[in-house]
Every structure is written in C-alpha cells, then in structure tokens.
C-alpha cells in the first residue's frame, strides 16, 4: 500500500489511498483493543486530513511532476536507515511479555489506582486529562499554534504573480477581454 502511494502520480488517488491506509490502521487498533487511538485515527487520519488534502488539491494541480532519473544517494540513505531500524527491533522485548518495561513501570500504578483516585472508568481519559494533564495542555496549544500558522500563511490575499500567470506587457484596456479568456483556460488546465 505504501509503495502504491509513493508510485502513483495521481495526487487524488494518493490522497484516497492515504485515507484507506488510515482506516485500516484504525481497524488494526480496534483489534488491539485500543479504542481511543482507533477513534482518533479514524476521525483525524481518515476523515479530516483527507478533507484537507482534497481542499489543497482543489488549489493545486492534480498530477505530480514527473522527476527524471533516480536519486541514488537518497535510496542509499533510506536503505541504511531502514536496515538499522530493523536491526534495532531485534533488541526489543517480545510482544506481550508480562516482564516488559512497559508493563512494570508506571502502567500498573495507573491500572490499579486510577479508578480509586478519580472514579473514572476510562483509564485513558484519566491518564490524559489528569495524570498527564500538562502534556495534554501542550497538545492543545500545538493545535492552536497550527491554526494560527495556517491563518498567518493564508490570510494574505494572493497576488497575481503567485498564480503563475505573469503578464508579459502591462495590460491595457482593450486586452482585458483576451486576458480573461486566457485565465479561464489556464484554470481548466489546472483542474
């Protein structure tokens, strides 16, 4: 699937493949009994980010520029990094063992005490909002910052030159009609 996303040149198809990938991840999380993560993945990964990708595609061209040749250096770097990561996974403890670090550190404390501490059945909510409250506040600030950044980038009115249509001569009144037509055809090409 990831190979298909990289190979496909049609950006609309790539966006849809991303959405399907997210939905499959959400199904995988559900199988692993991680309801909160599955809900987030389905809502954010498959839903909102697909909508945002489509909103951007409405502004950009649909097909990727073909790039000539292969970047051998990039391929080598990616290959070595992947090999190192796979080598690192050999040192990880076996999945689901009771004496894994994840099972003996703070996990048991949360599992044993979260209900008596706050009377909240959903442990994930208890950990997120109360034990790790400052982390969650940081996440909320990250979201706000992202919104402010998009606002800062897109609240400037676009200039004519950014649209990729540079007038060759200063436009006169009698050329106004011609130029309008050229613009509309350019718009169609974009779509």
Partner 1 sequence: MSDNGILRVVARFLIPLIMLFGLYIQFHGEYSPGGGFQAGVVFAAGWILFALIYGLENALKVISQRAMYVLAAAGVLLYAGVGLLGVLMGGRYLDFYPLLDSPHAAQQFGIITVEFGVGVTVATVVMLIYTMFARRKSEWEAVLKDGDDR
Evaluate whether 66 touches 75 at the Cβ level (below 8 Å).
Answer: no
Quote the radius of gyration of the chain (alpha carbons, Å).
25
**Closest CB to partner 1 among 14 and 41?**
41
61 touches partner 1 by CB under 8 A: no
31 touches partner 1 by CB under 8 A: no
- Kindly indicate which of the ranges 5-13, 20-28, 30-38, 72-80 contains the residues binding partner 1, using the contact rule CB under 8 A: 30-38
183 touches partner 1 by CB under 8 A: yes
127 Cβ contact list (under 8 Å, min separation 6): 110, 114
Residue 137 C-beta: closest distance to partner 1, Å: 5
Question: Measured between alpha carbons, how far is 143 from 129 in angstroms, rounded to an integer?
Answer: 16
The DSSP symbol for 94 reads P
168 touches partner 1 by CB under 8 A: no
Question: Measured between alpha carbons, how far is 21 from 29 in angstroms, rounded to an integer?
Answer: 12
Query: DSSP for 164-185?
Result: T---SSPPPGGGHHHHHHHHHH
179 touches partner 1 by CB under 8 A: yes
144 touches partner 1 by CB under 8 A: yes
Beta-bridge partner residues of 10:
63
Could you give phi then psi for residue 166, rounded to 5 degrees? -95, 120
119 touches partner 1 by CB under 8 A: yes
Site for partner 1, rule CB under 8 A: 35-36, 38-40, 43-44, 47-48, 51-52, 55-56, 58-59, 117-122, 124-126, 128-130, 133-134, 136-137, 139-141, 143-144, 146-147, 150-151, 154-155, 157-161, 163, 165, 167, 171, 176, 179-180, 183, 187
């Amino acid at each position: 699937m990831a190979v298909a996303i990289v190979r496909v040149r049609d950006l609309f198809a790539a966006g849809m493949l991303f959405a399907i990938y997210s939905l499959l991840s959400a199904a995988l999380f559900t199988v692993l009994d991680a309801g909160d993560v599955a809900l987030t993945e389905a809502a954010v990964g498959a839903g909102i980010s697909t909508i945002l990708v489509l909103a951007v595609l409405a502004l950009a061209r649909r097909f990727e520029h073909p790039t000539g040749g292969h970047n051998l250096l990039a391929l080598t770097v990616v290959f070595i990094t992947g090999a190192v990561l796979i080598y690192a996974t050999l040192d990880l403890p076996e999945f689901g063992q009771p004496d894994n670090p994840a099972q003996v550190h703070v996990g048991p404390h949360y599992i044993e005490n979260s209900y008596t501490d706050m009377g909240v059945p959903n442990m994930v909510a208890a950990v997120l909002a109360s034990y790790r409250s400052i982390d969650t506040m940081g996440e909320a600030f990250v979201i706000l910052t992202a919104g402010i950044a998009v606002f800062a980038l897109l609240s400037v009115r676009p200039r004519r030159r950014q649209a990729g249509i540079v007038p060759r001569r200063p436009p006169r009144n009698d050329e106004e009609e011609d130029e309008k037509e050229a613009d509309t055809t350019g718009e169609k090409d974009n779509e």
